[in-house]
Amino acid sequence: MWDENPALAYDLMTDDCVQWSAQLSGLDAVVGPDQLERFVTAYRARQINLFRPRLLVDGGDQFAYLWDATSPDGTVRTGADVNVLRDARIEANWTSVAQGHADAPDSDVTTDDPTDAAHIEQLCHSWTQLWGHPSTELADLLSDDVTVFIGTRDATATDFHGPSALVDHIEQQRATDPSFTVSAHRRPVIDAARGRAALLRTTTCRTPDGAVSVGGIDVLTIRDGRIAHAWSLPGVRPFCY
C-alpha cells in the first residue's frame, strides 16, 4: 500500500479503522480506508519510501512486524507496526520508526522446547519492569548473548550486546531521571509458535517542562524461555487510544 498502491487500504482496513504514529500526529485524524488512501497518495506525492517487512509476530487477532524503510536519499530506518484485527481486517494500528537502522539480522529462533504463551506474556511484564528496576533477576529474563536495538529519537540508535551492557544503559538513564519508568499499554501480541512477542509501551520521563508519557513499540524474540533479541522503538507522543 505505502510502496505502490494506496487503494489497497480498502482490502486491509475496516471502515472505522484508527491509526497512531509515535512520531507524527498526521495519522490521528485518518479514519477508515477512504481517508487513508488520500493520506498515502498525498504522502507519496511528497516522498516515496520503499518498505521491506522483516520479523512477523502472529498473535491471531493481533499481529505485529518489524520493517525497514528506505528513503530516496538511501537512508534506511527500522520501524514496527502493531495491529488489531476484526473480521480479518485491521481495526487499529500503531506504528513507530527509529531514526536509525537495526543492522543485526533478525534472530530466527529455533528450539526443541518452545516457550508457552503464558510464559512469554510474563517475560513481557518482566521486560517492562526491568526499565524501572534494573536489579530485576536477569538470569531468568535475558539470554547471555541478548542483543537489544534501541531506536532513540535522534540518530544515535544503537545495539547493546549482553545483559550488563543493557543494564548499564538503563542505570545511566535512571541516574539522569529517577522518574524514568516503562509500562505496557494494552495486551501484548504473543506468538508462541515462533517464540516472539510485541508490546506497546508507555515511557514516563521528566523533561524541562515536567513529566511526560510517550508511546512506543518493543518487539522480542524468545529462546529457551528467555529474551534473546529485542528491538525497542520509543516515540515522542502519548498514545491516543
Q: pTM of the full predicted structure?
A: 0.93
Pairing of strands 89-97, 13-21: parallel
Instruction: Return all residues near 241 (Cβ < 8 A) that are at least 6 apart.
Output: 18, 20, 92
Looking at 3.40.50.2300, 3.10.450.50, 3.90.850.10, 3.30.2350.10, the CATH number of the domain 6-97 comes to 3.10.450.50
Cα(23)–Cα(234) distance, rounded to whole angstroms? 9
Q: What mean pLDDT is reported for the chain?
A: 90
Looking from the CA of 207 toward its CB, the CA atoms found within 13 Å total: 7
- The DSSP result for 38-88, as a single string, is HHHHHHHHH---EEEEEEEEE-SSEEEEEEEEE-TTS-EEEEEEEEEEETT
* Cell 524541562 sits on residue: 208
Summarize pLDDT for 156-207 with one digit per residue, the tens.
558 899 999 999 988 888 888 888 889 999 999 999 999 999 999 999 887 6
Q: What is the CATH number of domain 117-234?
A: 3.10.450.50
Rounded mean pLDDT, 36-45: 93
Summarize pLDDT for 68-87 with one digit per residue, the tens.
999 999 999 999 999 999 99
* Cell 519492569 sits on residue: 129
Under the banding of pLDDT at 50, 70 and 90, the label for residue 99 is: confident
* Cell 541478548 sits on residue: 146
Domain with CATH 3.10.450.50 in the chain: 6-97, 117-234
Cβ contact 144:163 at 8 Å = yes
